[in-house]
């Protein structure tokens, strides 16, 4: 009877270890996805900031010249 309890306890330990490793792996994947998404957001924000700085540094004449480049007249 004692051997049966030992075997059942061992099986329960193995199963709980498998379940725990599954959930740890699942959470690790989610954290990697969040990090990738955050990197993309930071890149877009930095690009926007750079373009905003460029626009703020242009004076009226420079803006007019840039617009003339793209106008059809």
Kindly list the domain boundaries of the chain, sorted by start residue: 2-70
- The confidence score (pLDDT) of residue 73 equals 57
Spatial neighbors of 58 by CB under 8 A, at least 6 apart, are: 66
pLDDT digits (tens, 9 = 90+) for 2-17: 788 888 889 998 898 8
Residue length of the chain: 73
pLDDT digits (tens, 9 = 90+) for 18-72: 888 888 777 777 778 888 888 998 898 888 888 777 777 777 787 778 778 877 6
* Structure-token pair, residue 50: 């750079």
Predicted structure pTM score: 0.43
* Structure-token pair, residue 7: 């075997």
């Amino acid at each position: 009877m004692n051997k049966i309890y030992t075997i059942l306890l061992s099986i329960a330990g193995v199963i709980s270890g498998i379940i725990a490793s599954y959930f740890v792996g699942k959470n690790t994947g989610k954290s990697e996805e969040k990090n990738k998404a955050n990197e993309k957001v930071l890149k877009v924000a930095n690009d926007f900031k750079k373009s905003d700085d460029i626009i703020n540094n242009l004076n009226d004449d420079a803006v007019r010249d840039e617009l003339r480049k793209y106008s059809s007249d």
